[in-house]
């Protein structure tokens, strides 16, 4: 069902207002701004998804009374980590710096203000995305077939990394007052990464080339490939050979997409073997992290995961096996910005795997300057609902302009 096919008489507004909607926020959007919580509540959202553990970033704060730009210099937790919990771990979370507005517990301060404004608060926890860890512990990083390390991408096959991520999820997700959590980057991270002064766009890379450049050849992954019957040196050589036509500009090589595109470059046997290894590692980590959150939080705590229903995808929306992950998580938050075709591509593969009661949240960017379309939020929400979405997520109330927020308010509270 395309957006143009939606009935004209009121359905878009009705769908947008009927679906439970949450807006993303950082603690620094709220701490130090007495008007922030009421401003967000006035949008018509019922929930805020508030960052409790986040990667390094540079963020605009267009309405804050004390600053306009926040530079979070490294991945950090935005609450006081429990030293006793982490004593036995080689890898530990980093506390936030001054960018958290001087608050030791910036998450807790912001969450209390949002709750006082009548908003339900869920934590937002970024896991396998940590450049400082990669800089200080280079052995934890993904290593590509050429031997290059990706310091922003912890290898989720490594036991110490997995133990860290599970413990971090258990500590950061069930913060006091949180009714649920959304776990981001709970899977493989790869080549794609928003990076300062980025210069890697000279050769366009489609799905298949991105996948090959994201395969890990650290010692743990090499052992994993060997355990599945592959010579890791031969596999790395095959990856480099498969990418050679991409670097030389051979027609169509760089644009190859989908599982078929990966097979065309790498061959069916190596494609199946690497997907087997990566899907097993990601799936077991996802199950372990979700179980640890549930054990720490107790009954009634909602656990969602930011995901892409295509298992080979990497990044913040980690690739998942939908049938597997929906057996553990209460639902998924899916990237749905980019028009009707993009929503259909993401929501469509879930049709056969939805379970009764599962949350399928459509994540829509509402920041015009970041490619969002707040003016079409009502129609986009209706289209997502027609494809099976049960809730909405709005990225990102703290980054949006006043005009963007006005458009969101009009979509969510059309009679106001």
* pLDDT, tens digit (0-9, with 9 covering 90-100), for 117-132: 999 999 999 999 999 9
Lowest average pLDDT, out of 7-11, 51-55, 290-294, goes to: 7-11
CA dist., res. 366 & res. 364, Å (int):
6
Give pLDDT tens digits for 163-221. 999 999 999 999 999 999 999 999 999 999 877 777 778 888 999 999 999 999 999 99
Alpha-carbon torsion (106, 109, 113, 118), positive or negative: positive
DSSP code per residue over 312-353: T--SSSEE--HHHHTTTSSEEEEE--S-HHHHHHHHGGGTTT
| Number of compact structural domains in the chain | 1
Query: How big, in percent rounded to 5, are the helix, strand and coil portions of the chain?
Result: 45, 15, 40
> Percentage of the chain with pLDDT > 90?
87
Tell me whether residue 179 is in a domain: yes
pLDDT in tens, 62-75: 999 999 999 999 99
What is the distance between the alpha carbons of residues 280 and 162, in angstroms, rounded to a whole number?
A: 13
- Identify the pLDDT of residue 14: 67
Kindly state the average pLDDT of the residues 140-147.
98
Residue 368 within any structural domain of the chain = yes
389: containing domain = 3-202+281-412
Rounded CA separation 158/397 (Å): 36
Q: Does any domain span residue 267?
A: no
CATH number at residue 92: 3.20.20.80
Report percent pLDDT > 70 for the chain.
95
Q: Is residue 393 part of a domain?
A: yes
In a domain, 52, yes or no: yes
Mean pLDDT of all residues belonging to the chain: 93
For residue 97, what pLDDT is reported? 92
Question: Which has the higher per-residue pLDDT, 28 or 197?
Answer: 28
For residue 1, pLDDT beyond 60: no
């Amino acid at each position: 069902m395309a957006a143009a096919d939606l009935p004209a008489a009121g359905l878009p507004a009705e769908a947008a207002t009927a679906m439970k909607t949450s807006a993303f926020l950082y603690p620094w959007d709220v701490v130090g701004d007495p008007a922030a919580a009421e401003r967000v509540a006035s949008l018509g959202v019922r929930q805020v998804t508030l960052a409790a553990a986040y990667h390094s970033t540079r963020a605009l704060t267009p309405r804050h009374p004390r600053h306009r730009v926040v530079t979070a210099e490294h991945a950090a937790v935005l609450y006081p980590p429990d030293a006793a919990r982490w004593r036995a771990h080689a890898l530990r979370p980093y506390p936030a710096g001054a960018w958290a507005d001087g608050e030791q517990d910036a998450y807790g301060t912001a969450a209390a203000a949002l709750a006082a404004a009548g908003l339900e608060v869920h934590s937002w926890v970024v896991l396998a995305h940590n450049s400082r860890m990669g800089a200080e512990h280079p052995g934890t990083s993904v290593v590509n077939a050429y031997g290059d390390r990706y310091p922003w991408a912890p290898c989720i096959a490594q036991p110490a990394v997995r133990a860290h991520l599970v413990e971090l999820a258990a500590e950061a997700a069930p913060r006091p007052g949180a009714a649920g959590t959304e776990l981001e980057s709970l899977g493989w991270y790869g080549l794609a990464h928003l990076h300062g002064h980025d210069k890697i766009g000279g050769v366009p890379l489609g799905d298949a080339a991105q996948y090959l450049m994201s395969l890990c050849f650290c010692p743990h992954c090499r052992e994993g490939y060997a355990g599945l019957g592959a010579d890791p040196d031969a596999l790395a050589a095959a990856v480099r050979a498969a990418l050679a036509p991409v670097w030389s500009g051979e027609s169509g090589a760089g644009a190859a997409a989908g599982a078929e595109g990966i097979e065309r470059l790498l061959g069916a046997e190596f494609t199946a073997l690497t997907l087997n290894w990566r899907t097993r590692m990601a799936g077991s980590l996802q199950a372990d992290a979700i179980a640890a959150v549930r054990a720490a939080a107790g009954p009634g705590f909602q656990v969602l995961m930011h995901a892409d229903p295509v298992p080979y995808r990497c990044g913040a929306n980690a690739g998942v096996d939908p049938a597997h992950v929906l057996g553990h998580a209460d639902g998924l938050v899916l990237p749905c910005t980019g028009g009707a075709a993009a929503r259909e591509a993401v929501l469509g593969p879930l049709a056969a795997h939805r379970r009764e009661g599962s949350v399928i949240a459509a994540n829509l960017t509402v920041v015009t300057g970041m490619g969002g379309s707040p003016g079409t939020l009502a129609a986009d929400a209706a289209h997502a609902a027609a494809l099976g979405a049960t809730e909405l997520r709005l990225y990102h109330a703290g980054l949006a302009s006043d005009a963007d927020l006005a458009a969101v308010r009009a979509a969510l509270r059309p009679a106001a």
